[in-house]
Amino acid sequence: MIRMRPMLYLCALLSATPAWALCAFQTSSDELSRQLDAAESAYESADVEGFTGAMDEASMALPCLTDTLTPFLAARLHRIQGVRMFGEGNNVHAREALRAARRVDPDALLSTDLVPEGHPIREMFATAAKADLATEAVPVPATGTVLLDGLGDVGRPVAQAVIVQLTDAAGKPV
């Protein structure tokens, strides 16, 4: 299970090291989606080990993507991460992840297969602020583009989770 401090360490390491240098393998966003499918299926089956294992795999695969993340997939990852954080008793980070999901895909719904009606996560998701956050400009790279949750030309949320990808001039993640 990845805790916050190791995750912060990983983020610091990623900021100083090309993502591909840390990857034992490369993966596609289709494979990431399949990992999220496995996580959702395990959660629905109350398979805690399967759920956390699939989420750990998805988290480790993220910097190894060979293609750019779509906003839909970024929002889905934030939603499922919110479910995970809630299950770990971390309501603050759960709320932040669900807010990030709503910011990226404000019209998305939580599946009742994943989160049944009346569940506290459903209320947390419904009340998550959709886009009322301060943002800051992202420095423009010398070559390529910075994508935030699969979106370009947007400000980085100051106090919210965001998935950052840097692409080369050809649009491939680096």
State percent of the chain over pLDDT 70. 85
pTM value surpassing 0.85: no
pLDDT of 29 strictly over 80: yes
The whole-number pLDDT of residue 140 equals: 85
Q: Using one digit for the tens of pLDDT, what is the confidence trace for 111-137?
A: 898 899 999 999 999 888 654 678 888
SS (H, E, C) the chain: CCCHHHHHHHHHHHHHCCHHHHCCCCECHHHHHHHHHHHHHHHHCCCHHHHHHHHHHHHHHHHHECCCCCHHHHHHHHHHHHHHHHHCCCHHHHHHHHHHHHHHCCCCCCCCCCCCCCCHHHHHHHCCCCCCCCEECCCCCCCCEEEECCECCCCEECCCCCCEEEECCCCCEC
Does residue 167 surpass a pLDDT of 70? Answer: yes
Q: Using alpha carbons, list the distances in angstroms from residue 159 to 54, 112, 164.
A: 27, 29, 14
Give the mean pLDDT of the chain: 84
